[in-house]
Structure 1
Amino acid sequence: MNIYVFIGTSICDIGGGALYYKHKLQYLLDKGYKVYIFSFVKGEVIIDQLKSQQKNIISYLKFPPYFYTDSNKNKIIQHLIEEISYKDNDTIFIESNHFISSLWGEILACRLKCKHVLFIIDEISRIYSDCDLRYLKFKDQRKEVAAISHRTLPEIFKNTNYSDICRKIILSACPTETISNVAECKIDIHLHKENNTINILSLGRLNKKYILPTIKSLANYTIANNSVFFNIIFCGGPSKYESIIKKEFNGQDNIELIFLGNLYPIPLKLLRITDLGIASSGSVTLLDEFGIPCIVIDGNDCLPIGIYKYNCINRLFRGKEEPPVALDYLLNLIIKNKVVNKNFHLPENLNKEVDFSSHFQFIKNSNKEIEYYSEEYSNGFKIKFVRILSVFISLDKQNKLFKIMHKIFDNFSFSKL
């Protein structure tokens, strides 16, 4: 039996991560694999194909193994092992998709004596110590680290001697760039309709870092252009951010805010009525595939990169020749100057099968020798300090304290490796 184990973050939303698990789960099942997706974000699983993995949501995986005593860490690992139904002659692969999760994946792989790779699907991945860097360097030198952007590893290793020589192995979360999360389905959207109306779609989770700065700029634009009516449509959750967004527009009478929450699949009707989109990463590609002009927001500095395929080519992080551009300038290019026009059409790759063979080639190309990271993680001052305090405070507070301490003590730079 071939077994594939994910150590991931969330299967409870409709973001790129959940869609990646949905696509790859089906691909692996079709290939005869038994699949386990362990994640830590609690909530309701919306995508039907992932509902079987609801029982594998384990909140303890949110925190790094070094936050726990050896006894509790071993209990968590033993629980994972007991959930995986395997025999000694089975072939097991473990794929982690988040840096903290990969620390658990490395321990689990060591216990099961199997291959463990890290595929970073986060837009921004942060680490907090020299030991983190040494671990990541170890995995990278074994060709066991890939990311969705060529900027991910250099950004992690910036200010070290390893930044320019890390391998920068790139994989796509949807290798054949297929679109299988859009369909002709019913949706009830009540839009304000006038001759001078613009429908703007924000496609992506509301808790992404760029959302609030972008909303502030968009609110200023709608105030300055009060002769135009704007339907601003938000496709994505969670809903707790809706009240924050509403406050930014402060009762303007030339806008209508429409919150659609997590939608799966995305209705074709929604894309048909959209005049322009604002997005980052994979959502940019989706809008472009349907001929919808899209303003791209940088996932790092949260400032606009440009209009995709008009004055920018990157979808996640800006290139060296792509300085930040004011949102109002880009909106005027589309709305007033009409330099890019909507050309809605159905893409040829709509609902085609996704081929993850490149992911298995990545695994095949990695180091064949069995070796796992063995450096003791718990010797650092910050780690010892938060572990002592963990007796008195919750793990969530312990995690926040650890990140605050990182900002205080490590802002200058990491060691040179």
Structure 2
Amino acid sequence: MCRLVYSAEAWRLLHGIVSLYKPAGMPMSVLIKGLNYSLVRDLNMMERLVEPQYLLGSSSSPAGLDISRRYFPSSQSQLIQNKMVVNLPIKELSESKHKPEPELETEPEYYEEKFTSIDRNNQLDEDCFASEDKELEEKEEKKEMVDYSSHFRLLGPAYNVEDFKFKPVNFLQPIASGVCVIGINNSTHTAVNIRNANPLVTYEIQAELGSATSTGFTDGKTVAKATWTHLKNRRWTIDQILSNIQASHQKSAWASTNVLIDSQEAYELAAKGPVRPNLLTDTLIYSIRCIEWKPPHFCLSIQCIGDRDHKFLLDLISEIGIRMKTHAHTTGIRCAQVGIFTAEDSLLPSQCDLASVINHIGQTKKIVRSKKPFIRRSNFISFNDVYSLNKHEAGDGSQVKSPKDRLQVLIKDIYN
């Protein structure tokens, strides 16, 4: 395990995917802002590597600055400890040593005074000591200088909240809790690719029988009531309803691929995983089952794609209640998994410090590189179906030439 000292080294590691666990009642914007402020605070508390300004005294540039002669980078705390006194580069000192001294037409006056004082009194007086101290101070001033351009009061904080970029993969409403996958800085494009790949999202929905609300959630106004006692010992009723719902959604997913179910193409497509349509217009359910049945309370586990505002899930619970000859409303929504990111591996809002986030990014990078969730698997189309479709559309013997025309014809058949 390496130890990070400077904030610039930590900044280079803040590019990746993080998985956070959002509590219910908290908007995603508040969660992202909390992560942002926490990272900025920890970065500004670390040691800062600064570079003082350019050296003065060059006649080549119009401003009198020589950009080829710069100070060595040093830590800000060390500069403050040395009272902002910086040493000149070795290159600058070597140039000054080999620089020829200008020839003086006449000797300075203090040389004459010094020699006369020695000849008269045969000893060094106080004026001679003072002149030597001045010469030593001038030599020291040539080797170091005071520079306040790197002082923290002048530079201000090294990082601001505007320096970070965030891009969420999934969206959770304030009423829901669970996994939120977010891309940071240079990994925002990876987050967009994962979102476009339509990952499977697993929800655990808590519901209650006997009443219906105006919003479908427990915070809405009650609009209808019905008895539920006839469902006490009849769990098979809800299992049968859920099986019918899952079968209808799977049929819709296969219909969008335009592949015959009893063909070799369908077998190879199913072997790769759940069929995901390229043109997603509504939420599709791939798995739905009841994991807890304690009337009037029950819990469903749903795997779906395309859900954004949870409106579909709330309406689904109301529909299930009507099919069971009663009413039902949702009491809680929890996102348990988003693609390859699970709730067990997510960070809590209280764990969003710099060290935990950097370690978490390193773990998620290994998972993303191995499983590659951003690769979007395209659903292929049978060549026999395309040939028959072209023959059917072009009755005069001509065929559809461009793939765009073929796709448009297939979409018309799917939706008609």
User: Where on the TM-score scale, by shorter chain, does this alignment land: which range?
Assistant: under 0.3
TM-score by length of 1: 0.20
TM-score by length of 2: 0.20
Higher helix share: 2
The answer to which structure, 1 or 2, has the higher relative contact order (CA under 8 A, 6+ apart) is 2
Larger radius of gyration: 2
